[in-house]
Amino acid sequence: MIEFRWRCRFQSLIRTSVGLWAGISVLSSVKFLGMQLLRRLRIMMSVTRAEMWPSPFPQDDGSCFLLDSTRIRCARETAGLSKVQLAQLISVDPRTVTNYETNGAPQSKTVALAEALKVMPSFFTIHPSEPAIEDLSETQVWFRSLRKSTARQRKSAIGHGRSALLLFHWIESHFRLPNSDLPMEQMAQMPPEASALALRGDWSYGENPLPNMVSLAESHGIRVFCLPSVGKEVDAFSFVFDGQPYIAVDAHKTPERVRFDIAHEIGHLVMHEASMSELDAGTRDIEKEAHEFASNLLMPERRVKALVPHHALIGDIFKAKKYFGVAAMAMAYRAHALGRLTDWEYRSMCSRLTSMGYRTAESDGIDTEKSQVFGFVASTNRAKGISVNTVSEETGLTSRELHDLSFGNFMTVTSGGRETADGNVTSKPKLVLHVNRNFQTGE
């Protein structure tokens, strides 16, 4: 009897254990199925979310990013757009634009980006021989109007400077331009007046008035170009890139002011560029030094004193301004600085000139001074009958940008038929600049 009871209890225990194990197995199965279902739901939600809100992070497929990230950033800054504004124009999230400027953009966005940023689609593909335009930064540029311009406007101006690098790279691959002979190292420590007189001596002009300043700068190896859209806010600026000096001017100003701007920027290049890293804006008035250099370069002291008498009248100022090719206000300032006008006479002269409109314009002014470099290239290309579209494609710049950078000259050259099988240009026309030493403006 006792043995039977224990047997029954044992069988009952076994049945209970089997039931428990079965229950645990069922629970485990349910839990497993639940986790699988939850995982599938998460995947479905992530896919749906990705379709609604594109991920700003690159996928594991490097082949989908073909457009250069630095070129996208450069083009956006040139266009004066924020990341949010660009995102709205191409219908993506701002984080996606950040990703484009970090990792590159898919080829499918080429047309949208080109239209939004006003560049050619080829701009986003870098040719191995092209300059690293993204290396040009604000720390390398001499800006005249920091107070008048915003950070975005300065970035846009630098962007046009990068465009100029591409344009001049293209020109130099087809033409031989003059090399720079600016004595930047020799004049780095000289005061403005001494630097200006020394440069006049190097250029063999003595005390004579300087001719076309655009052509004069070009003849000494400086690349001069025009600011397309931000010149009024930024004014002129200069920089050195890979040892080559560049000057950007606002061609919408009067020719007299453009002459002074070029002289001002040459002052920065010869006096300040060699010691740029050592300059302290807090201890040296860099802009004032460049201004004094320009005054001495365009209006040498001895010749001014020979032309402008003491207590000069407005007729004397007009005569001298036309002789030197400068603005009436600049001539009055120089006459006052050299003692030809007293403080009271200078204030009265400025007041009268302002009332006559000479603060913003020049009545009976000189003609616009033209670029010989762009003029020569344009005329050579027109003779070949080659379209501007090829230049746009090769530089990545629109015809509008090319036109504006080149002082209104439409560039019309192509390398088609000019290269050997390995891509080297067989011959380059040499550009010889003839600067008329007799002062005749507008050439």
**Model confidence over 192-208: pLDDT tens digits?**
999 999 999 999 999 99
CA–CA distance, 179 with 247 (Å, rounded to integer): 15
Decide which of 48 and 298 is more confident: 298
- CB of 350 within 8 A of CB of 341? no
Instruction: Give the rounded percent of residues in the chain with a pLDDT score beyond 70.
Output: 73
CA–CA distance, 360 with 110 (Å, rounded to integer): 43
Answer whether residue 397 shows pLDDT above 80. yes
CA atoms within 13 A on the CB side of 349: 24
CA–CA distance, 77 with 137 (Å, rounded to integer): 12
Residue type, position 374, single letter = F
* 62-126 classified as CATH 1.10.10.10: no
Find the mean pLDDT for residues 80-99.
96
Q: Strand 244-249 vs strand 223-226: parallel, antiparallel, or unpaired?
A: parallel
Decide which of 53 and 323 is more confident: 323
What's the pTM? 0.79
Backbone angles phi, psi at 125, to 5 degrees: -115, 125
Answer whether residue 265 shows pLDDT above 90. yes
Query: What pLDDT was estimated at residue 50?
Result: 33
Q: Strand 237-241 vs strand 141-143: parallel, antiparallel, or unpaired?
A: antiparallel
**Model confidence over 404-424: pLDDT tens digits?**
999 988 654 444 434 333 333
Domain spans in the chain, listed from the N-terminal domain onward: 62-126, 130-297+370-443, 299-369
- CB of 229 within 8 A of CB of 156? yes
**Model confidence over 2-59: pLDDT tens digits?**
444 444 444 554 454 445 444 444 445 444 445 544 444 443 433 333 333 343 333 4
